[in-house]
Every structure is written in structure tokens, then in C-alpha cells.
Amino acid sequence: MQEIGLLNSDIADVISRLGHMDEVIVCDAGFPIPLGVRTVDIALAANKPTVAEVLVEILKYFSVEKIILASETGEHSPSMFKRIVELCGEGVVVETLPHHDFKLHSREVKAIIRTGDFTAYSNVLLVSAGGPRWFVER
């Protein structure tokens, strides 16, 4: 029985299948998930778990080179915007685009992880990185 690491087998499977520059979204409870996109729904109750809580765990095992947030996140939920950026760490590129465009782009991601977060516009698209383990001979 697995007792360490990512215990949710569906999230672990999603992450294990992502390559460099593949994209996954961690979204709030109200995000409209497009038909046909693999979905891991871990919403349990209002604000359980939150987007931030899920990111804390995922980022232990998943390298990210860029994140994309809706511009409305910074306008309507600035503390969430700041928290997501902080969790992803220095060196991660941060981009924004209108929420409408974010939703359109969600049709192209490899998977969406739906949380129980009720913070408005708490959605983040993570772009997979090669990570620090890769050796580059110069």
C-alpha cells in the first residue's frame, strides 16, 4: 500500500504522463470543464481542498516552467493570485490572459484537476518543465 508521495492515484497518473511543455489546470469548484478533457475531481466540500492546498502537494513532484492565470484573478482575488505565484517559486514565468481566453485554452490541456475552492477565478494552468534533475553538458 502506498503511504508516501501523491496518494491520489489519478493525480499521480496524470503527472506521470506529462512531458516537457504539457499543460494541466488546477481549477476552482465552478470552472466549466470542457467535454473530453481528462478530469480528476477531488472536490469534497466548499473549500475542501483549495487550489493552494493541491498546488503545495503537486509541486513537490512536478516541475513547472510557466503558469498562466486569468487576468481577473489578480483583479478579483489578488491574495490568491499572489499565493499561487509564491507557491510556484522564483524562475517560473507568470502570464495572464482574459478569463474567456483561459476557458477556451482549457480545451487543449492534458488534464484538469477540480478542487472544492470557492475563491473567484482560482484557476491556474501549469506548463510542465524539464526540472532540475536534467543534466546538460556544456
According to DSSP, residue 111 is labeled E
Please identify, in words, the CATH class of the domain defined by 9-128: alpha beta
Domain boundaries, the chain: 9-128
Indicate the helix (H) or strand (E) that contains 11: helix 9-16
Q: What positions carry a catalytic annotation?
A: 20
pLDDT at 94: 98
The pTM (predicted TM-score) of the whole model is 0.95
pLDDT tens sequence across 75-132: 999 999 999 999 999 999 999 999 999 999 999 999 999 999 999 999 999 999 987 7
CA angle 25–51–60, rounded 5-degree value: 80
Mean pLDDT of the region 18-38: 97
